[in-house]
Every structure is written in structure tokens, then in C-alpha cells.
Homo-oligomer: A and B are copies of this chain.
């Protein structure tokens, strides 16, 4: 299995999760490879039993293809954890180098890395690390941009986009931290957040790409204490009146 073929499987997996059967066009875009080359490769992957492909019909992974894609994903995310926690990588750097390492990571290395890292449940941006058995399903996540002001949330996941990762890291936003949404600007205005004693304002665009778990408690009380309403587009700065945990 070459790096190229592995990249096909990875993208097929990603696209299939999101949109079901995958068109050649989407795959070609995702891989940055000419559509003609994609057709050609899909025929080969089909013959190798990794995808179910029929001309003009769209593509799906077979059992085996999916298994391989998941193995790659697992390796990728474990490397990300290692690079960040132990080698001090930033989110985006970790992603880049994990992209290389995942293709030369035999099963035994994946397993030992997993043990070494203490079986982490999520990669540094909050994506689950697939494992053998069933995953403990995580609390439902919503985009930060959909959370009304006043709610308490835990930051759980950010999209893997280089610019976003660098942006959020620069402002020291940490995953798994608690936060209070102190204001939500109307008409896609910025979202204000109080987390770890810091106030921060995020663009709507960023908030769409950050996913949080809502915490039930203290919603009513927060509102009583004067935190602004979703509809109120007023002052966003918000007083750093109390820590978020």
C-alpha cells in the first residue's frame, strides 16, 4: 500500500462520512489530483477490493477499505497527540508531520504509541481517536456560533484548518476548558467568551468552526446576573467578573 493509495482511502472515508457515496469530482478536489487520474486509480482500488466502484455510480469504501482508512486515522491522531504533548508542537505543525508519519506506522507502532500516550480519547483538536471496541460516544456537540449568550460550555473540538488552528492557538484557547458565552453579536457578529479568566472575542467564522458541549447548570442564574441576551448586539467586551472553572 503506497502513500498515494492511502491518501485516496483517507479522503474517501472523510467524504463518505460527511456525504455518503463519493463523486469523482469531490474526490479529485479533495486530493488535488486530476479527475482522469482519479478514475484510473479507482479502477485499481476496486480491483484490489478496497472500494466499490462502478463507472458513473460514485464510490464507497469496502469493509477492508474502511478498516484501512480508520487505521490511518488512528495513527494520524495518535501522532498528533505525541507531537503536541511531548514534543511541544503547535496544532498545525502536529497535523503536518502526523500526515507524513501515519503512512509509515505499522500496527505494532500504533498500539505501542497508544499505550505510551495512555489511550487518549481524542486528538488535540478534539476528533475522536478510533479504537477497536465501541467508542464511548461523546456528549453532543454544537457549533459555538449556535450557542446563545449566557450559556456555559466546554470547548471540545476545532476544525482542522491551518489558519484557524494558528489563530486559536495564538490567543491561547484551550480545548476541554470551560467557558461562558458572554455575548453573541447579531448578524454574524463576533462571539465573546470568558474562559480561564480571559476574555476573548471570536469572529463568527471562527465560532462556526469550534464545537462545544453545553453544560446544563447555571443558565438561568447567569442571565439574572446581567449577562447579555442573544439578540442584544451591544457591548461585547464583557467584564472578567469570575473565572470559568
Contact = CB atoms under 8 A, between A and B. Distances in A.
Interface of A: 83, 86-89, 93, 97, 100-101, 103-106, 108-109, 112-113, 115-116
Given A87-B109, A97-B106, A100-B104, 7 more contacts: A87-B112, A87-B113, A87-B115, A88-B112, A93-B108, A97-B109, A100-B105
Contacts of A115: 87
Most B CB within 10 A of own CB, among A105, A112, A115:
A112
A93 B109 CA distance: 10
A88 B109 CA distance: 10
Contacts of A101: 101, 104
Task: Count the copies.
Answer: 2
Contacts of A109: 83, 87, 97
Contacts of A105: 100
A62 to B, nearest CB: 26
A3 to B, nearest CB: 9
Contacts of A112: 87-89
Nearest to A101: B104
Given A112-B88, A116-B86, A100 B106 contact: yes
A189 B20 CA distance: 69
Contacts of A108: 93, 97
A89 B108 CA distance: 10
Nearest to A100: B104
A79 B89 CA distance: 17
A109 B93 CA distance: 10
7 contacts: A83-B109, A86-B116, A87-B115, A88-B112, A97-B108, A97-B109, A104-B104
A167 to B, nearest CB: 21
Nearest to A106: B97
Contacts of A113: 87
Nearest to A99: B104
A226 B61 CA distance: 72
Top 8 A-B pairs, shortest CB-CB distance: A100-B104, A87-B112, A97-B109, A87-B116, A104-B104, A86-B116, A101-B104, A97-B106
